[in-house]
């Protein structure tokens, strides 16, 4: 009988040797005369256990990790093909608390299936949402998404259904779905994990959006830093076309929707929606003033839904189970789940999809297990390089858009970067300004010049030069950037800077 062994091809797993582990298992099976089929799945998201090898047994999938190529011989000796015990064995994958305590809606298939298998996708509930959407009027699809309460997952949190309704209501000879896959925030990787681990989910979500607003073309803007996601998407698009999931006759509906992929070129600002549109059009990624909204005048001036990967990837579940079922998760005006990402100096780093409302402390300690270094957590940065640095006294904040913002934080794309007590927060504040200077598109003055001046002022504060006057100057500069920048890059860079100054003033006065 053939035994199925899963070895992820997610790039996080590959980055710590999954390829060599897969080769060692194939070689070991051959040498021992075992009948083994190796499936290259996505990652389960327990990234500290990667490479996480799973074996399909009568008792479900049994997990082993982190497996090094040198461990494989011992695994065979321990009878891992029958789920045998071994020092690296974690028992059934589904029962590992980190995994069992999640609510996986968007990530239901990621790590479970072969990401590029059309059969796996269908067998695990894929396409049900799109098939239902095909039977619905566009306005009814939009209503379902409005009812779900889904908000844009890229950071701004704008209600997705309202955006879709605006595009549906616009009349034009051509409309577009533009997927923002320029996941540039440090500490985030949920988009990447879906694109590598369940790419058809994104394509299905885009097709649903297309049907909802009357767009026949979808564009994915993928960052060049994700070479493995690129390979997965190129293959997935080809196969989905060949299978009739995309193209002139989507699933035999007579409706048209196709997707093309464009690759960015290492610019953080192109994750800003209007800069991304400029880049897709082949130009410099310069931010456009709003209005006009991209929903009315977006890609090539046409009405365009610009949504993050996570937003579009939530649509199939919503169409399959209904907007009300999605809205039943979460708290306040933050409906559904968010795939949080635990990153940086954290013991159990990985992906945690849970309903909104969980606290930072639960994520950092119950899931994250504290720091990787074993030292105390001193600060976390939530929401990417434009998010606030928060001290331990704020860890009981619930992750819910409005209360979190009221407390000076920003959930953003759900990335959480952990720092231990060796961190120099003045250095991190300086880095925030430096990063803004490197990545600013240069269109507006407060961001282009303010970031460089900000870096210099922080240098003077740290050097002890007229400290009080320079702190006041930095605060003044940050107010100017916040109030007068064209987009979130210049507008939010003050957030990490001022939060570091507020919560960790001692680091600026050494």
Partner 1 sequence: MTKRPEPRPPAPAGSGADTDPSRAAIDAAIDAAIAENRDLRGATLPILHAIQDRLGYVPPAALDRIAKALNLSRADVHGVLTFYHDFRTSPPGRHVLKLCRAEACQAMGCERVERHLAERHGAAMHGTTSDGRLTVEPVYCLGNCALSPSLLLDGRVHGRVTPERLDALLAGLAAEERA
Residues with Cβ within 8 Å of residue 50, at least 6 apart in sequence:
8, 10, 12, 13, 16, 18, 43, 65, 66
Instruction: Rank residues 76 and 367 by Cβ distance to partner 1 and give the closer one.
Output: 367
Instruction: Rank residues 267 and 470 by Cβ distance to partner 1 and give the closer one.
Output: 267
Q: 338: closest CA among 191, 496, 485? A: 191
**Shortest distance, CB of residue 448 to partner 1, whole angstroms?**
13
Instruction: Rank residues 165 and 443 by Cβ distance to partner 1 and give the closer one.
Output: 443
* Helix intervals (H) in 328-420: 360-361, 401-406
**Shortest distance, CB of residue 299 to partner 1, whole angstroms?**
9
Q: 464: closest CA among 503, 494, 508? A: 508
**Shortest distance, CB of residue 183 to partner 1, whole angstroms?**
6
Residues 53/65, Cβ–Cβ less than 8 Å: yes
**Shortest distance, CB of residue 156 to partner 1, whole angstroms?**
19
Instruction: Rank residues 45 and 336 by Cβ distance to partner 1 and give the closer one.
Output: 45
**d(Cα 417, Cα 15) in Å, to the nearest integer?**
19
Instruction: Rank residues 209 and 343 by Cβ distance to partner 1 and give the closer one.
Output: 343
**d(Cα 180, Cα 198) in Å, to the nearest integer?**
16
**Shortest distance, CB of residue 343 to partner 1, whole angstroms?**
3
Instruction: Rank residues 46 and 78 by Cβ distance to partner 1 and give the closer one.
Output: 46
- Annotate 213-255 with three-state secondary structure: HCCCEEEEEECCCCHHHHHHHHHHHHHHHHCCCCECCHHHCCC
Distance of alpha carbon 228 from the chain centroid: 15
Residues 490/451, Cβ–Cβ less than 8 Å: yes
Instruction: Rank residues 204 and 217 by Cβ distance to partner 1 and give the closer one.
Output: 217
Whether the CA torsion 417, 94, 310, 261 is positive or negative: it is positive
β-pair type (176-181, 60-64): unpaired
**Shortest distance, CB of residue 142 to partner 1, whole angstroms?**
27
**d(Cα 479, Cα 213) in Å, to the nearest integer?**
39
**Shortest distance, CB of residue 12 to partner 1, whole angstroms?**
5
Binding stretches for partner 1 (CB under 8 A)? 11-12, 14-16, 47-48, 50, 183-189, 191-192, 224-228, 262-268, 279-285, 300, 341-346, 349-350, 372, 381, 385, 415, 417-420, 423, 428, 431, 435, 438-439, 441
Instruction: Rank residues 258 and 439 by Cβ distance to partner 1 and give the closer one.
Output: 439
**Shortest distance, CB of residue 428 to partner 1, whole angstroms?**
7
**Shortest distance, CB of residue 74 to partner 1, whole angstroms?**
22
**Shortest distance, CB of residue 416 to partner 1, whole angstroms?**
10
Q: 309: closest CA among 154, 118, 432? A: 154
**d(Cα 10, Cα 113) in Å, to the nearest integer?**
12
**d(Cα 330, Cα 354) in Å, to the nearest integer?**
9
Residues with Cβ within 8 Å of residue 274, at least 6 apart in sequence:
287, 288, 290, 294, 487
**d(Cα 238, Cα 219) in Å, to the nearest integer?**
14
Instruction: Rank residues 441 and 447 by Cβ distance to partner 1 and give the closer one.
Output: 441
**Shortest distance, CB of residue 92 to partner 1, whole angstroms?**
22
**Shortest distance, CB of residue 152 to partner 1, whole angstroms?**
19
Residues 349/343, Cβ–Cβ less than 8 Å: yes
Instruction: Rank residues 17 and 357 by Cβ distance to partner 1 and give the closer one.
Output: 17
Instruction: Rank residues 208 and 343 by Cβ distance to partner 1 and give the closer one.
Output: 343
Integer angstrom CA distances of residue 476 from 259, 428, 454, 472 = 46, 19, 10, 6
DSSP 423: -
Instruction: Rank residues 236 and 436 by Cβ distance to partner 1 and give the closer one.
Output: 436
Residues 213/175, Cβ–Cβ less than 8 Å: yes
């Amino acid at each position: 009988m053939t035994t199925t062994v899963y070895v992820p091809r997610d790039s996080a797993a590959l980055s710590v040797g999954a390829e060599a582990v897969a080769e060692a298992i194939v070689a070991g099976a051959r040498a021992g005369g075992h009948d083994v089929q190796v499936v290259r799945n996505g990652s389960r998201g327990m990234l500290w256990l990667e490479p996480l090898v799973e074996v399909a047994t009568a008792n479900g999938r049994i997990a082993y990790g982190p497996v090094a190529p040198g461990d494989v011989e011992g695994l065979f000796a321990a009878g891992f093909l029958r789920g045998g015990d071994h020092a690296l064995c974690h028992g059934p994958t589904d029962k590992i608390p980190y995994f069992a305590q999640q609510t996986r809606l968007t990530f239901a298939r990621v790590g479970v299936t072969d990401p590029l298998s059309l059969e796996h996708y269908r067998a695990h509930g894929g396409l049900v949402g799109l098939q239902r959407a095909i039977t619905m009027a566009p306005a009814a699809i939009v209503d379902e998404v409005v009812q779900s309460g889904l908000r844009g997952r890229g950071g701004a949190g704008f209600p997705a259904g309202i955006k879709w309704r605006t595009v549906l209501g616009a009349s034009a000879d051509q409309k577009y779905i533009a997927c923002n896959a320029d996941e540039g925030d440090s500490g985030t990787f949920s988009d990447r994990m879906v694109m590598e681990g369940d790419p058809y989910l994104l394509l299905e979500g885009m097709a649903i959006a297309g049907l909802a607003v009357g767009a026949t073309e979808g564009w994915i803007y993928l960052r060049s830093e994700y070479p493995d996601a690129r390979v997965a998407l190129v293959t997935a698009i080809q196969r989905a076309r060949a299978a009739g999931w995309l193209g002139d006759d989507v699933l035999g509906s007579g409706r048209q929707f196709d997707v093309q992929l464009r690759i960015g070129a290492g610019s953080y600002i192109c994750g800003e929606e209007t800069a991304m549109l400029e880049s897709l059009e082949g130009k410099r990624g310069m931010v456009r003033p709003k209005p006009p909204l991209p929903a009315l005048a977006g890609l090539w001036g046409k009405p365009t839904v610009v949504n993050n990967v996570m937003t579009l990837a939530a649509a199939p579940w919503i169409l399959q189970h209904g907007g009300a079922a999605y809205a039943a998760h979460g708290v306040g005006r933050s409906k559904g789940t968010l795939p949080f990402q635990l990153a940086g100096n954290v013991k159990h780093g990985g992906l945690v999809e849970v309903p909104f409302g969980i606290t930072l402390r639960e994520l950092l300690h119950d899931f994250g297990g504290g720091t990787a270094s074993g030292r105390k957590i001193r600060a976390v940065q939530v929401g990417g390089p434009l998010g606030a640095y928060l001290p331990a006294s704020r860890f009981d904040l619930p992750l819910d858009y409005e209360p979190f913002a009221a407390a000076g934080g920003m959930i953003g794309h759900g990335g959480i970067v952990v720092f231990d007590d060796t961190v120099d927060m003045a250095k991190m504040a300086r880095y925030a300004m430096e990063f803004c200077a490197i990545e600013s598109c240069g269109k507006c003055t407060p961001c282009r010049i303010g970031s460089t001046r900000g870096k210099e002022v922080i240098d003077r504060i740290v050097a002890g030069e007229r400290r009080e006057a320079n702190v006041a100057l930095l605060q003044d500069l940050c107010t100017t950037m916040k109030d007068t920048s064209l987009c979130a890059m210049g507008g939010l860079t003050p957030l990490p800077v001022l939060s570091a100054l507020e919560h960790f003033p001692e680091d600026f006065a050494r």
